[in-house]
Amino acid sequence: MASEAVPERSGRAAEVAHGLRAYGLIVRMWIRSTLAYRTSFVLMALGNFAASALDFVAIVLMFSQIDALGGFTLPEVAFLYGTATLSLGLADLLLGSMDRLGSRVRDGTLDTLLLRPVPVFAQVAADRFALRRLGRIGQALLVLGWSVTRLDVDWTAGRVLLAVVTALSGAAIFAAVFTAGAAFQFWAQDAAEVQNSFTYGGTTMLQYPPTVFAKDLVRGVTFLVPLAFVNWLPALRLMGRPDPLGLPGWADFLGPAVAALMCAGAGLAWRHGLRAYRSTGS
């Protein structure tokens, strides 16, 4: 009843198009304003790159003392690292501002978004679009590129496709976590850290081989918060490794389906949260 004006199915599609257009408008405006201070932007992007790269430096240092981590070589860990970081980087670039929702609810600026003739989601997602987050993506691509040259994998068209689809569906899974986390903030305004533990924390976990973690933890990120589908399962298949849970082989290809389910769930949570906000005002 309190939903947006969505007449029928065609209306839903029109709303999505409308939202994407609004997202594009706001993002373009932020990019323009970012590039007005070019030096500052370059420094920020480099900072983002460096902060992200330090994680990998830690891994490299570790390998100066050991030959394998949980049975995985450095290029293999680098592949896991690259795919997880790339997926997070993409989601962070597109929706990274969503964790500010709680503070917007608290200071009342969410109300001003409700006054504009475009979907609130697009406005929240595009708010303060930070191009500097390309730094993380660039760093992930470098590590990924290096690992691909070192890995003993026959890159057939099918494998390349699986890798690309994995990166994208992984980004979609993180996007769903960002969205669900933001939706949760309609009720708990200080809960930004909860989603951060799944996104940034989850990524740190996915950067390492699943074999170094306790089985129950791996089960948790497979069945509860299915982050394992971001990169672990498909990456293990690409590298010809068995997965520690012994799931059936087709599970490695479930990434896009898991991503779609999670996005649908996150979308529902968002709608529900916004509706609750509009009926209680806080």
Partner 1 sequence: MTAGQLIEVDGLEKVFSVRRKAGRLRRVRHEVRAVDGITFQVPRGEMVGYIGPNGAGKSTTIKMLTGILVPSGGRLRIAGIDPARERTRLARRIGVVFGQRTTLWWDLPLKDSYELVRRMYRVPDAVYRTNLDRCTELLDLGPLLDVPVRQLSLGQRMRGDIAAALLHDPEVLYLDEPTIGLDVVSKAKVRSFLREVNAERGTTVLLTTHDLTDIEQLCRRVMVIDHGRLVYDGSLDGLRAAGEGERTLVVDLERELPPIQDVPGARVVKVEGPRQWLAFPAAQSAAPLVTAVAERYPLVDLSLREPEIEGVIARLYRPSAALGSPPTLSADPP
What is the token pair recorded at 81? 């690292």
d(CA 166, CA 87): 8
Nearer to partner 1, 189 or 211 (CB): 189
What is the token pair recorded at 203? 């990524």
Shortest approach of partner 1 to residue 107 CB, angstroms? Answer: 7
Nearer to partner 1, 12 or 116 (CB): 116
**CB hemisphere CA count around 127 (13 angstroms):** 17
55 interacts with partner 1 by CB under 8 A: no
The DSSP line for 191-259 is THHHHHHHHHHHHHHHTS-GGGS-HHHHHIIIIIS-GGGTTHHHHHHHTT---TT---GGGGG-HHHHH
d(CA 85, CA 89): 6
Residues binding partner 1: what is the number (CB under 8 A)?
A: 28
Nearer to partner 1, 1 or 66 (CB): 1
In the region spanning residues 112 to 131, those forming contacts with partner 1, defined by CB under 8 A, are 112, 114-119, 128
In the region spanning residues 262 to 281, those forming contacts with partner 1, defined by CB under 8 A, are 275, 278-281
187 interacts with partner 1 by CB under 8 A: no
Give me the helices (H) in 67-188, please: 74-95, 101-107, 110-114, 120-126, 134-150, 157-184
Q: Binder to partner 1 among 14, 16, 20, 29 (CB under 8 A)? A: 29
Shortest approach of partner 1 to residue 114 CB, angstroms? Answer: 5
Shortest approach of partner 1 to residue 37 CB, angstroms? Answer: 11
d(CA 249, CA 269): 31
Nearer to partner 1, 112 or 223 (CB): 112
Which span (23-31, 131-139, 159-167, 197-205) binds partner 1, by CB under 8 A? 23-31
Shortest approach of partner 1 to residue 281 CB, angstroms? Answer: 3
Asked if 184 contacts 269 with a C-beta cutoff of 8 angstroms, the reply is: yes
d(CA 220, CA 192): 21
Residue with tokens 């799944």: 198
32 interacts with partner 1 by CB under 8 A: yes
The conformation of residue 244, written as its DSSP 8-state character, comes to T
What is the token pair recorded at 157? 């068209």
Residue with tokens 């029109």: 14
- Residue 229 burial by Cβ neighbours in a 10 Å radius (0-12, 13-18, 19+): buried
In the region spanning residues 86 to 115, those forming contacts with partner 1, defined by CB under 8 A, are 107-109, 111-112, 114-115
4 interacts with partner 1 by CB under 8 A: yes
40 interacts with partner 1 by CB under 8 A: no
The conformation of residue 37, written as its DSSP 8-state character, comes to T
Shortest approach of partner 1 to residue 4 CB, angstroms? Answer: 6
Shortest approach of partner 1 to residue 258 CB, angstroms? Answer: 32
Which positions touch partner 1 (CB under 8 A)? Answer: 1-2, 4-5, 22, 25-26, 29, 32-33, 107-109, 111-112, 114-119, 128, 275, 278-282
